[in-house]
Amino acid sequence: MGFLKRLLGFGTTVAGTVAAVKVSEKVKENNPNGVQDVNGDGKVDYKDYVIETKKAAKETYDEFMQKAPGVVADAKEKGAQIYADAKEKGAEIYEDAKKTVQETFSGK
């Protein structure tokens, strides 16, 4: 269980890092000349960055949610194909092993 817990923790860390990078890229894309005075208070400060980051995070999330159904469908299709291939190969491997065991113990 320890290995699985570490693996899931690592996956979560990677996913969080990828999300942060995507949001950062979206902030840069939305503000090619840098973040400006978004809230109209006459100065560029952390509040403007927070507003732009929130906006970019929502856009990134929306893009992800649009792509997610297609990605899930592709994964299901590929998973089904992998399962079918493994089932077929498994039967072949089983028959080969059975034959080898029979030959070994029958003295041939």
Residue 87 has pLDDT above 70, yes or no: yes
The Cα–Cα gap between 57 and 47 comes to 15
Question: From CA 29, how far away is CA 57, in angstroms rounded?
Answer: 12
What does the pLDDT average to over 49-58?
95
pTM, rounded to two decimals? 0.58
CB 44 within 8 A of CB 36: yes
pLDDT at 4 over 80: no
Dist. CA 69–CA 105, nearest whole Å: 53
Q: Which parts of 31-45 fold into alpha helices (H)?
A: none
Say what the alpha-carbon torsion angle 88, 92, 94, 99 is, to the nearest 10 degrees: 160
Average pLDDT over residues 39-68: 92
25-34 residue pLDDT tens: 999 999 999 9
